[in-house]
Structure 1
Amino acid sequence: MIRIRGVPAVVGAGVVLTAAMLVTPATGRRVLFVLVTLCALLPVLGILPRLPRGQRLPWVLLGVALGLVLANNLTVLIGGDAAVPLADLLVSVGNAHMLAAAVLLVLRRGRSDIGGVLDVTLVSLGAGGLLWTTVLLPRLRDFAVPVDQQIVLLATVLLLFGVLGAMTRLWLADGRAPVLKYFAAAVAGLLAADIAMITATGATASQAAAWYDAIYVPSYVFLGLAVLDPSASSLARPGHAPQDTLSTGRLLFLGGALGLAPCVAGIREIAGLQGDGVLLALQSLLVVPLVMLRIGWLGRQRERAERRLRHQATHDLLTGLPNRAELWSRLDAALDAERRAGRPGVVLLFCDLNGFKAVNDRLGHLAGDRLLTEVAARIRAGLRAGDTLARYGGDEFVLLCEEPGAQEEAADRLAGHVHDALGVPVTLSGEQVTVSASVGVVLSAGGAGADELIRRADERMYAHKAARSA
């Protein structure tokens, strides 16, 4: 409730300060800028103590960014136009902190959409570079702005474009958190205000017409509203996961967006106009790491997809155990190792559950599935590292073990383990259910193949089951 009551105060202060900007002389507007910054900074400082420690870092970075903007306003208020270069530097450092805060928010809220966020950020940087080389740089040269100040301003523009792209992607992909909308609106307002100021004065901290200064006010109001919105606490939770497919069209669009500004710069050189090496250098410093991250993300996605496909192809969907195909593969490998070693060592147990069909018919297939899952978990829990438990099909399981020189001991160990694992009843639908297993044991003599061993184990299992029924 405290956060909600703060909303009218922030909005009201924003309306009053915007109106005041339009009628206050230039020397007095710096004081108003200090108050505007406080409209966003105070809510950030207010929310920090109420957040868990693990969720504070993005808000701390945002607070530092706003603190640097406040220092920028105080610097110009005290030092006048002579302090503009230092003030611009403070703004750029503040924007860098804001970018870091946005990146952390993206990693938390948008960690399932890293690829989409990187793509939009790259496109945003390309758009920023195009705007810089076609509109802003010519104006800065008209104002004879030194190269070092151009670099600071270029960094400011590119960073804000990157932040805006990332936050807009999050907002469009996950509209359930209004805080994302407020953040995107705040960054868009700051970017528009900076572009207007650079175009009008050649800097972001110089004195300009009143309406230029008034453009900044809504941005800080939106930042304050973002912090005060109840959905701000949800940013620590994963957001919506849109489909991330780098199609041919999307790839061409990314390439065009990134290559547009360098192409314009090259055309300027060909036309005899002064080029823009600063843009190419700085944009490369920002773009290359993002492209590397994107490629790395695609590589990890492909690896995860391949692992999932391999697991699905070699494991049973219900129990998670190796399936029949994987069992045959491991048995073939074990027999090959046995032949190379020159001594028998493979032990195979074919297990079929007794009483499973009755449970399945009486309690239903869902209860039967739960019984199979529980049986698989119990048997797997006590196996040694080299043992394999596979689901052969239906209610049949196969145990594979390699124990050169100790086959009989291994067979007794595994058979006893199966008996013990099934000795405790399983609770299904509020009922205690007990099942046992008929087990066929085969010890390899070093000459039989995988199909022969499985056939013999299956026959002995049926012989065991028949003996139990007799």
Structure 2
Amino acid sequence: MVAAVKPDGRWARLGMPVGFLVLSAVFAGAYLTGPEPVRLVLLLLSGVIAAIAIALGVRINALPDRRPWMLTVLALAMLSIANAAWYLPAAIAGGAQTPPDWMAVPPQMAGYVFFLAASLMIVLRHTPRDASGTIDAAVWGVALATPVWEFLFRPRLLAAGQDTATQLFVLTQLLVLFGICGALLRVARTSGRGQVSLWYLFGALGMTLLGTAAVHMLPAGSGSQGSVPALLFALGYLSLGAAGLHPSAVRLMSPQRCATGGTPKMQLSMFGAAMLLIPVVGAIGQLTGSPPDGLLLTLAPMLTIPLVLIRIGRLNVQRSRDQRALAHQAAHDELTGLINRRELFTLMERAIERHADGRGGDLALLYCDLNEFKPINDRYGHEAGDAVLRATARRIAGAVREGDVVARIGGDEFLIFCPDADSDTAYALGSRIVRALAEPISWRGETLRVSTALGTTVWTQRETVAPDVLLAAADTRMYENKRTQTNRSVYCSDEASSPTLRTSRM
């Protein structure tokens, strides 16, 4: 059985980086001094080593999501097949040989697709915490790839007489790799201590970009045109293996914090600047004498427009969510979650209008005021008082009927509005509330007790009345009950803590 590697151990902090550097140095030395067959073996071996390292990392580190890393192993397998197709004929024949497109291009494209999918899966684990920022970063990555293509890669490809298919392949590579880099840079802000593994991923992307540049930038026919790109690709594969094997991959797959973005205006301004950069770069290239770049002006928008649509959709969702949150805050008490006085009066006005039109039964309003609440606040502090208020809200909500409305109007005062409730119904409901609130409340090992004084008014007349009038009547009854405290046994067997309930008919 393989022993688990401690993420914070000395091996993780020192051994892996040293091992990676040593292995990379060995590969570099062998590439620069060895013959072509040795380079081919090392290139293929780097992919195998990386795949084994990732498989071991998945098992040893018990990663919470293995799918991105399994896709990375598949990507390495496809790229190794493509590399064999490119370099094996040259090694066997002893010279530069170009393989048929069907042998090299499909596995290479498949490898990039798998790697793109794996990168997106890692990004998506962080996206829920910072979706807008991640999309912005990806768009900026694609946008920054456009000047690199227009002023570095494209002139070389045109000078070399490369066909449209080759240009399309290289441009796609650049846009995708830069987009992934942008998204992962944003992920770096949420990965916390998982950044070691993330920087290995950046190393792999960087080596891939440099290898792609070397293939097309180095002079044709030079020995370095084949060996330097192969070395860079091999180092990129080794960096991928290190990313999966390093224990910090666990934290990379388990984001712990959110990135803090700028203001919405600043975010949208930066987003718009990224979108504007693409056509501007294309126009500059044409103005400086280059032929029109239809590939760039077609492919880059094809990649960014879906991201733009997602970004706009998220803005709409966020706006709706903010509006709902503001509406909820305006209508509810923050501590208990009950509706507040303003919302209660709105509901009461509608019910009173229906009642005045002859619809429904009588309307009852119960005014509930806690006794012994201030001594609890004074002795145990406001946290205990808040716990009592939350418990009171839950118990009242559990005692009322479906359709009754419970509100907190401030301090230790609660209102219960009951449509279709006569005096007997209101009396029975008040009794249930009194019994429920007389039960002790446990808080941090302490037993807290409160009682309640209830006043009730029932509106029977089929005419409009202001909610304030009903509130004042119920308030009056509540204070009368506090003063008299009679008929306690009607509401609770514990006479020492039970108040009275007087009901007025209006």
Give me the TM-score of the superposition, normalised by structure 2: 0.83
For residue 260 of structure 1, the aligned residue among 247, 257, 277 is 277
User: Between Structure 1 and Structure 2, whose CA radius of gyration is higher?
Assistant: 2
Amino acid at match of 1:438: A
1:143 corresponding residue in structure 2: 160
- Separation in 2, partners of 1:339, 1:184: 71
Q: Does 1:190 align with 2:200?
A: no
**Unpaired runs of at least 5, structure 2:** 6-10, 90-96, 488-506
Aligned CA distance change for structure 1 residues 409 and 53 (closer, same or farther; 3 Å): farther
1:276 offset after TM fit, Å?
A: 1.7
Shift of 1:27: 4.5
Does 2:149 match 1:132? Answer: yes
What are the superposed Cα offsets for residues 135-183 of structure 1, whole Å, 9 maximum, x if unpaired?
2122122222222232222211111111111112222454432222222
The 1:303–1:385 alpha-carbon spacing in structure 2 relative to 1, beyond 3 Å, is farther
Alpha-carbon distance, 1:297 to partner: 1.9
* Structure 1: 5+ residue stretches without partners: none
Question: One-letter code of the match for 1:92?
Answer: M
The alignment status of 1:374 with 2:391, answered yes or no, reads yes
- 8 Å CA contact 1:351–1:396 kept in 2: the answer is yes
**C-alpha separation in 2, matches of 1:51 and 1:385:** 52
Deviations 1:226-273 (A, max 9, x none): 212222112332343233335545434433333223233234446664
Using CA pairs below 8 Å that are at least 6 residues apart, which structure has the higher relative contact order? Answer: 1
Cα distance in 1 for partners of 2:267, 2:444 equals 52
Q: How does 1:71-470 map to 2 (within 5 A)?
A: 71-78=81-88, 80-83=97-100, 86-172=103-189, 174-177=191-194, 178-200=196-218, 208-269=225-286, 273-403=290-420, 406-408=421-423, 410-445=425-460, 446-447=462-463, 448-468=465-485
CA-atom RMSD, angstroms? Answer: 2.8
Instruction: Give the whole-Å Cα distance in 1 for the aligned partners of 2:376 and 2:274.
Output: 63
Q: Which amino acid aligns with 1:314?
A: A
**Against the structure 1 CA distance between its residues 250 and 54, is the aligned structure 2 distance closer, same or farther, given a 3 Å change threshold?**
closer
| C-alpha contact 1:348 1:442 (8 A) present in aligned 2 | yes
In structure 2, the residue matched to 1:22 is 32
* C-alpha contact (below 8 Å) 1:171/1:184 kept by paired residues: no
Corresponding residue of 2:45: 35
Measured against aligned partners, the alpha-carbon deviations of 1:184-237 in whole angstroms (never above 9, x if no partner) come to 2221222222122232379xxx98243333223332232222212222112332
Please give the secondary structure, in 2, of the residue aligned with 1:432. Answer: strand
The answer (yes or no) to whether the contact 1:40–1:224 under 8 Å persists in 2 is yes
Alpha-carbon distance in structure 1 between the residues aligned to 2:341 and 2:185: 48
1:272–1:185: structure 2 CA closer, same or farther, 3 Å change rule?
closer
**Distance in 1 between the 2:395 and 2:212 partners?**
65
Identity %: 32
Deviations 1:386-437 (A, max 9, x none): 222111111111112222xx53454245323312322421123433233221
Change (3 A) 1:102 1:408: farther
Normalized per residue, which structure has more helix?
A: 1
Q: 1:386 and 1:52, CA in 2 relative to 1: closer, same or farther beyond 3 A?
A: farther
Q: Deviations over 1:291-342 (max 9, x none)?
A: 1111122222222222222222222222122122222222222223333454
Contact 1:58 1:102 in 2 (8 A): yes
**Structure 1 residue 463: Cα displacement:** 1.6
